[in-house]
Chains A and B, each alone.
Chain A
Amino acid sequence: MYLRPTTLDQAVDALEHHRAQVLAGGTDFYPALGERLPSTPVVDITAVAELKGISVHETFFRIGGLTTWSELLAAQLPPCFDALKSAAREIGGVQIQNRGTVAGNLCNASPAADSVPPLLALDAEVELVSIGGRRGVLLADFIVGSRKTLRRADELLTAVIVPRVVENARSVFLKLGARRYLVISIAMVAIVLAVDEQRRIRDIRIAVGSCSARAQRLRELEQFLTGRPAQARLDALVMPEHVKSLSPIDDVRATAAYRSDAALILVRRALQMCAS
């Protein structure tokens, strides 16, 4: 069965009544199907206008779940979103960026999802709506493992909420892959760094992807760096123990040891780019 609701109410109603898969941009949906056809009902949410667009509110930005990467790239957004925009440019090719959605990337919850580290570094929250109501969950909690999230089958990820705390902070995203385009990350790092008037680090968020079952923040390193001057050789302060919380795996793209190593280098470089 194929349902194409045009309102959010219809969409969550459909999810309530059918054990359905959600279809949005299709960029993960179809590859996962392979040669099979869907065996469960499908709720196609792409006609739900309420899920589109980016809006600015007094204390937060709201990115509609159906926002595509191309739409995000075209939006006027403050510097703290630069990392997210860099990530958007690295998601597949233009074809994928034109269809793939923010909500889809998060709900698919690949350990290598490019948008997750920058959104983690923005302290993003996801908004989940079901027939029973609306709830907000921190992205850091929402993704619980490789391809596992807290989204219930009756819920729709309707928006990503980004608090307006560090909007003028610098942000950088670095992705490492074995080719230039259309590449799944071996490792990636996003940093959002805000300084005070003395150019001391007021607020820093560092997130690493593809180096554990879910992307994660390096909280100890963030604490260690907070309050320090954002000066030239900030990178020299980052030590291997600061990336010890990562738990990378060996796969066809790289060894685990290499990933830890590369994550450290990328953190240093991203930090240096933010600080300089």
Chain B
Amino acid sequence: MATIEQLTDVQATIGFSVNGSVASITASPLARLSRTLREELGLTGTKVGCDAGDCGACTVLLDGEPVCACLMATAQAQGCEVTTVEGLAQRGPLYEKLQKSFLIHGAAQCGACTPGMLVAATALLERNQQPTETEVMDALGGVLCRCTGYRKIIAAVLEVNDRVWGQNTPEVGHAVGDRLVRLDGQPKVNGTEIYGADEAPAGALAVRAIRCPFHRARFQFGDLEAYIAQHAGVAAILTAKDVPGENRYGVISKFADQPVFAVEEARFRGEAVAAVVGKGEAVEKLDLQNFPVSWKELPPLTSIDNALAPGAPLVHLDRKENVLVRGRVVRDDVEKALAEAAVTAEAEYETGFVEHACIEPEAGFARRVGDMVEVQACTQSPYMDRSDIAQILGIQPEAVRIIPTAVGGGFGTKLDLSVQPFVALAAWRLGQPVRMVYSRTESMISTTKRHPARMRLKAGANRDGKIVALDFHADFNTGAYSSWGPTVAARVPVHASGPYYVPHYRALTRAIHTHLVPAGAFRGFGVPQTAIAQEQLYDELADRLGMDRLEFRLLNALDDNTPTVTGQVLGEGVGIRACFEALRPRWLAARQETAAFNNNATGPLRRGVGVAGMWYGCGNTSLPNPSTMRVGLKPDGRIALHQGAIDIGQGSATVVTQICADALGCPIDRFDLVSGDTSITPDCGKTSASRQTFVSGKAAFLAGKALRREILRRAGACDCAKISFQNGQLEIQDGDRQHKITLSQLPTEHHGYVLTAEATFDPPTKPLDEDGQGIPYAVFGFGAHLAEIEVDIELGTVKVLRITAAHDVGRAINPTLIEGQIEGGVAQGIGMALMEEFFPGKGENLHDYLIPSAGDIPPVESILIEDQSPIGPFGAKGIGEQAVIPTAPAILNALHDAIGVRVHKLPATPDRVRAAILQAGIAGAQRG
């Protein structure tokens, strides 16, 4: 009889093969294999997104078959062959092709799902070299992606054998417009990219937060000293008392209200009240249920209605009626215009919390270096982090160094602080490096969400089809703390008209506090919610007028010379008409096909087609919003670009470099990117508001031009001279005159460059007056989506069949990356329309909270319109948020087109669609 393997020790020696070599490691036998691979073997290419098998980021091959490493005991790998992303190359030449295919297709954006996708795809391709699309989807279905919308990943796998993938470098002066492979792509497909959780100094302590389990509770600590004494390895407990500076932070300093640790009362489920710091394993093992804190649950405000009810308790004593802030844009007499309008339509819509669901949960570490503190973490906004951490620690901003890691998805949520105050404070106080990695649940309960919105609106039009008025009222549930609530309240009234001329207009908004998780920035700052209401209402107006819904939009679309609702006349670059016109051929064909399908339908399926438009201002709303770029010429003739526009997967590192290369007139492969580390790179602002291509891109353009001017000045050459960048020297051809600059002979400045140029760009805006009139943005992006869907009227399920997306991007700096933004935006729009709603306290994981999977995204056709902005670099405008806005309303308009119902509370889940169908008494849909 074989002997039972009885491992009574906490640690055991386990032997298995990893990536072709034998590993014998000492680990807890029950430790998740993912943890062992990452922490014991340093194979951090295997990502941990959920620790529950819900996301597939940790997919590895076990004896050639894909498994989730987070669901396996390390001891179960005994005697097996494990292959991680780092070992795929050893399995044969297929993998190199697959990597290249991923890069060329733009299949990796943030890259956090990429290792899982690559491993899953390898398993498929090793047994099936010519898979069908369905086989690819089945193989990738176990890995979630939040950035790409999956189609480029599916294409990368399907077309892996189609050609030998070469990498072309665009000619000098032609980087802009090139489908350049992302410059930070290679580490994403090698598994070597460093995200927040992938690095920590040896011996770093761990910190874990104690979080409130109730929506609202008073609390008292027990004997914290005794707890430390009783738990070996615990070094300290941190509470509000330990915060040396201000126990308060926030992305908008005027409204900063969020404590690092709550004091006496916690205002939302998931709010931190204390943190335990100590040796990694000891802290990991703590059962935090036993932490000495007693809670007294208090009645919470969990809805806008609760919060606005007379006599409701105040979430913050200084904010009357629980109103954080109001927004207002008014133009002319809207009530009179509505009273006189030939037709009117009105509606109410409600949306819920939407979770960003970045595949990478927040993570990072901090260490104290003398009187400085360094924080390395995933972030969208290093300089904002720097000032907040300085304020929390009571030190100067210059004493804080923020080292941004690669960001495994951001979408707005990584603008706000997460792990940073905990690791910075702990490292500062203990003088030792400290690390923190959020679990999926911790990320979901404590980080910001999309604002739930409740919108009431009424619009009117004349017989000739011209919109005359829109009256829009919206309340946004901003949760317990301000975060980006003021921005949502300010941005929405500017945008609620949509990209149309609306002469009489009133948009009033409020951000309302509740005892729920703070709502913050999420791709579009409230505008996606707004478009859901406004674009559906415009469909109703068109229907009442008996007009074609697309032609109605075209008739009312803004042009270069019509004023917006803030009275701004853009003068140039208003490409919305071109977007609608680009959709017209598919619109007409789809309308016909849909009608034919429905006329012949005998079963429960009906089809519909819907359209929606969008506009979105790039950058801060009437506020300063500068970016500074530094570009340096190195003695060896290479160019250093201090690229502080944080790339969260959208591609800013690549796009900004393309712009700078053409401005300078230098081949792009001579560029070396310098990271957004605040100690070496100037402030490029935050990655938000679709501003990086536009604002940081413009700064890079100006810096590139300035360096070029400086070189030409030194050579005494004219503006039109051609500079040839060579190793260690420059050759300047000015007509028939040739000039050489030997770089090694030039002195270097303190960055080590022989020539340096720095430029700042701040988009020209003007403040809004009390009626919201002014110039809120220098540049707007425009777009329109067309959705074709199929509804099962018996089950209420909606399948999106096809999306056609036209976007005016001004100038497509990198069409592949723009398509990536559009497809990813479409995927998030589908999620918002059909499946995504976060309920605080329920379903705080990625199997209850659903984001679209590889099988939920239809083919997306992107049509790029280039109506150049007079201000943007090479005419470019933003696309990041623009892409998500029109999808949901287009789908909801298609739903109405298919079956004549509207779902007023989003998302339109099967049960809600079915309820609407039953209420409307649709023929063929009755039960029984």
Q: Which of A1, A10, A180, A186 contacts B7 (CB 8 A)?
A: A1
- Size class of the contact patch on chain B: 35 or more
A94 touches B53 (CB 8 A): no
Q: Which of B30, B794, B910 contacts A38 (CB 8 A)?
A: B30
A183 touches B73 (CB 8 A): no
CB contacts (< 8 Å) of A262 on chain B: these are 795-796, 910, 914
B277-289 Cβ-contact flags toward A at 8 Å (1 or 0)? 0000000110100
CB contacts (< 8 Å) of A200 on chain B: these are none
- Is A93 an interface residue, CB under 8 A from the partner? yes
A182 touches B65 (CB 8 A): no
Bound CA span A44–B139, Å: 28
A182 touches B144 (CB 8 A): yes
B66 touches A95 (CB 8 A): yes
- Is B317 an interface residue, CB under 8 A from the partner? no
CB contacts (< 8 Å) of B54 on chain A: these are 31, 182
A4 touches B52 (CB 8 A): no
B880-908 Cβ-contact flags toward A at 8 Å (1 or 0)? 00000000000000000000000000000
Q: A4-B75, A178-B835, A179-B853 are in contact. Are A96 and B928 (CB under 8 A)?
A: no
B856 touches A180 (CB 8 A): yes
A265 touches B68 (CB 8 A): no
Q: A180-B855, A181-B854, A181-B855 are in contact. Are A95 and B68 (CB under 8 A)?
A: yes
Q: Which of A38, A96, A255 contacts B53 (CB 8 A)?
A: A96
Closest to B831 in A: A179
A93 touches B141 (CB 8 A): yes
CB distance from B223 to the nearest CB of A (A): 23
Interface residues of A in 236-266 (CB under 8 A from B): 239-240, 251-255, 257-259, 261-262, 264-266
Bound CA span A96–B928, Å: 38
Residue total for A at the interface (Cβ-Cβ under 8 A): 61
Q: Which of A9, A25, A181 has the most CB of B within 10 A?
A: A181
- Is A3 an interface residue, CB under 8 A from the partner? yes
State which of B778-786, B840-848, B859-867 sits at the interface with chain A: B840-848
- Is A57 an interface residue, CB under 8 A from the partner? no
B287 touches A36 (CB 8 A): yes
CB contacts (< 8 Å) of A180 on chain B: these are 137, 141, 853-856
CB contacts (< 8 Å) of B143 on chain A: these are 93
Q: A23-B73, A93-B143 are in contact. Are A70 and B65 (CB under 8 A)?
A: yes
- Is A133 an interface residue, CB under 8 A from the partner? no
CB contacts (< 8 Å) of A259 on chain B: these are 911
CB contacts (< 8 Å) of A251 on chain B: these are 842
A1-41 Cβ-contact flags toward B at 8 Å (1 or 0)? 11111110110011000000001011101110011111100
Interface residues of B in 137-183 (CB under 8 A from A): 137-139, 141-144
Bound CA span A31–B32, Å: 11
Q: A2-B12, A94-B120, A265-B795 are in contact. Are A186 and B67 (CB under 8 A)?
A: no
- Is B850 an interface residue, CB under 8 A from the partner? yes
A95 touches B56 (CB 8 A): yes
Bound CA span A91–B781, Å: 42
- Is B71 an interface residue, CB under 8 A from the partner? yes
Q: Which of B68, B796, B853 has the most CB of A within 10 A?
A: B68
B76 touches A46 (CB 8 A): yes
CB contacts (< 8 Å) of B138 on chain A: these are 89, 94
- Is B536 an interface residue, CB under 8 A from the partner? no
B66 touches A179 (CB 8 A): no
B398-434 Cβ-contact flags toward A at 8 Å (1 or 0)? 0000000000000000000000000000000000000
B801-845 Cβ-contact flags toward A at 8 Å (1 or 0)? 000000000000000000000000000000000110101001101
Bound CA span A37–B6, Å: 18
CB contacts (< 8 Å) of A266 on chain B: these are 795
Bound CA span A265–B842, Å: 28
- Is B915 an interface residue, CB under 8 A from the partner? yes
- Is B254 an interface residue, CB under 8 A from the partner? no
Q: A94-B142, A98-B67, A240-B927 are in contact. Are A3 and B797 (CB under 8 A)?
A: no
Interface residues of A in 54-72 (CB under 8 A from B): 70
B373-388 Cβ-contact flags toward A at 8 Å (1 or 0)? 0000000000000000
- Is B4 an interface residue, CB under 8 A from the partner? yes
B839 touches A95 (CB 8 A): no
CB contacts (< 8 Å) of A70 on chain B: these are 65
CB contacts (< 8 Å) of B928 on chain A: these are 239-240, 264
B795 touches A27 (CB 8 A): no
How many Cβ-Cβ contacts under 8 Å join chain A to chain B?
192
A252 touches B853 (CB 8 A): no
- Is B719 an interface residue, CB under 8 A from the partner? no
Bound CA span A211–B850, Å: 20
A6 touches B834 (CB 8 A): no
Q: Which of B32, B78, B927 contacts A261 (CB 8 A)?
A: B927
- Is A99 an interface residue, CB under 8 A from the partner? yes
CB contacts (< 8 Å) of B843 on chain A: these are 252
Q: A2-B29, A44-B75, A94-B66 are in contact. Are A179 and B852 (CB under 8 A)?
A: yes
A252 touches B842 (CB 8 A): yes
CB contacts (< 8 Å) of A5 on chain B: these are 4-5
Q: Which of B139, B796, B837 contacts A258 (CB 8 A)?
A: B796
A6 touches B4 (CB 8 A): yes
CB contacts (< 8 Å) of B847 on chain A: these are 31, 182, 184
Closest to B847 in A: A184
- Is B441 an interface residue, CB under 8 A from the partner? yes
Closest to B842 in A: A252
Closest to A255 in B: B911
Closest to A5 in B: B4
CB contacts (< 8 Å) of B56 on chain A: these are 93, 95, 182
A264 touches B927 (CB 8 A): yes
CB distance from A6 to the nearest CB of B (A): 4
A92 touches B5 (CB 8 A): no
Bound CA span A183–B143, Å: 12
Interface residues of A in 138-191 (CB under 8 A from B): 176, 178-184, 186
Interface residues of B in 106-156 (CB under 8 A from A): 120, 123, 137-139, 141-144
A265 touches B853 (CB 8 A): no
CB distance from A49 to the nearest CB of B (A): 10
Bound CA span A2–B8, Å: 6
Interface residues of B in 56-77 (CB under 8 A from A): 56, 59, 62, 65-68, 70-73, 75-76
CB distance from A113 to the nearest CB of B (A): 13
Closest to B8 in A: A1
A94 touches B794 (CB 8 A): no
CB contacts (< 8 Å) of A37 on chain B: these are 28, 30, 284-285
- Is A42 an interface residue, CB under 8 A from the partner? yes
Q: Which of A1, A94, A179 contacts B835 (CB 8 A)?
A: A179
Bound CA span A13–B1, Å: 14
Q: A258-B796, A258-B910 are in contact. Are A30 and B4 (CB under 8 A)?
A: no
- Is A218 an interface residue, CB under 8 A from the partner? no
Q: Which of A4, A25, A38, A186 contacts B71 (CB 8 A)?
A: A25
Closest to A256 in B: B911
Bound CA span A3–B71, Å: 18
CB contacts (< 8 Å) of A183 on chain B: these are 850, 853
A-B contacts besides A179-B853, A258-B914, 12 pairs, CB < 8 Å: A1-B6, A7-B2, A31-B847, A34-B439, A35-B51, A36-B287, A37-B28, A89-B138, A95-B59, A181-B137, A265-B794, A266-B795
Chosen A-B contacts, 30 in total, with CB atoms closer than 8 Å, are A1-B6, A1-B7, A10-B4, A26-B72, A29-B71, A30-B53, A31-B71, A34-B51, A35-B51, A37-B284, A37-B285, A39-B287, A44-B73, A47-B5, A89-B138, A94-B138, A94-B142, A95-B68, A95-B142, A96-B71, A182-B54, A182-B853, A252-B842, A252-B848, A253-B848, A254-B910, A255-B911, A255-B915, A262-B914, A264-B927
Top 10 closest pairs, chain A to chain B, by CB: A93-B142, A180-B855, A181-B141, A258-B911, A31-B52, A181-B853, A254-B911, A4-B5, A6-B2, A2-B29
A residues at B contact (CB < 8 Å): 1-7, 9-10, 13-14, 23, 25-27, 29-31, 34-39, 42, 44, 46-47, 70, 89, 92-96, 98-99, 176, 178-184, 186, 239-240, 251-255, 257-259, 261-262, 264-266
